[in-house]
Chain A
Amino acid sequence: RKEVEQDPGPFNVPEGATVAFNCTYSNSASQSFFWYRQDCRKEPKLLMSVYSSGNEDGRFTAQLNRASQYISLLIRDSKLSDSATYLCVALSSNTGKLIFGQGTTLQVKP
């Protein structure tokens, strides 16, 4: 079983739709969590950190449930430019290692 698991998708949604991605992690020692975005043939880029209280950045909302070891990302009013792969990431504070999920592919269509 992978340490961070995601549904690979693809998620095909129309512009303006709301879409949610889920992620689970198995290592309860993981302390910090992030969502990275990766465009085709590009490097992963930090999208947002995930805080226990939930956090929002514009159209993006991230939530963390430590009891269930579950992370989510909600994208509202999706744009064509949101099409990418979204990587769920857990960081071990002890080692500084990032553990990546396989990624969820989003395709937003006109």
Chain B
Amino acid sequence: DARVTQTPRHKVTEMGQEVTMRCQPILGHNTVFWYRQTMMQGLELLAYFRNRAPLDDSGMPKDRFSAEMPDATLATLKIQPSEPRDSAVYFCASGSGQGGRPQHFGDGTRLSIL
């Protein structure tokens, strides 16, 4: 089965450090989504891309977060500088972009900022 691949699976770092999370969407999928999940907020959409173009990043704190898709096989989410409140699980998901088709999630990156 094709899968969305995320790296790293876990990341622990000190506040102020840069964090980069990577995602390889399923081959042929043209939409990519970044979500953040915490106990308090549940799943929140941070940003998403269609055909590598950013469509909506309104859910993302612009001052410290950035999302890019340098090519069709790689999406990145960066936090600089990181803060303890960024601790969460970050999921990447990809979809075919066709109406009514669901998304498939990666295993997530569990991020802890000390």
Q: Could you list which residues of chain A lie within 8 angstroms of chain B, going by C-beta atoms?
A: 31-32, 34, 36, 41-46, 49, 87, 89, 91, 93, 95-103
Question: Using a Cβ cutoff of 8 Å, how many contacts connect chains A and B?
Answer: 51
Taking CB as reference atom, which chain A residue is nearest B103? A98
Q: Given contacts A31-B99, A91-B100, could you give 15 more A-B pairs where the C-beta distance is less than 8 Å?
A: A32-B102, A43-B106, A43-B108, A44-B91, A46-B104, A93-B99, A95-B55, A96-B31, A96-B50, A96-B95, A96-B97, A97-B48, A98-B33, A98-B45, A101-B42
Q: How far is the CB of A71 from chain B (nearest CB, A)?
A: 14
Which residues of B approach A to under 8 Å, CB–CB? Answer: 31, 33, 42-43, 45, 48, 50, 55-56, 91, 93, 95, 97, 99-100, 102-108, 110
Write out the residue numbers on chain B whose beta carbons fall within 8 Å of the beta carbon of A91. Answer: 100, 102
How long is the Cα–Cα vector from A98 to B55 in the complex, in angstroms? 14
Chain B contact surface mostly: strand
Q: Which residues of A contact B45 (CB under 8 A)?
A: 97-99
Who on chain A is nearest to B100 by CB? A32
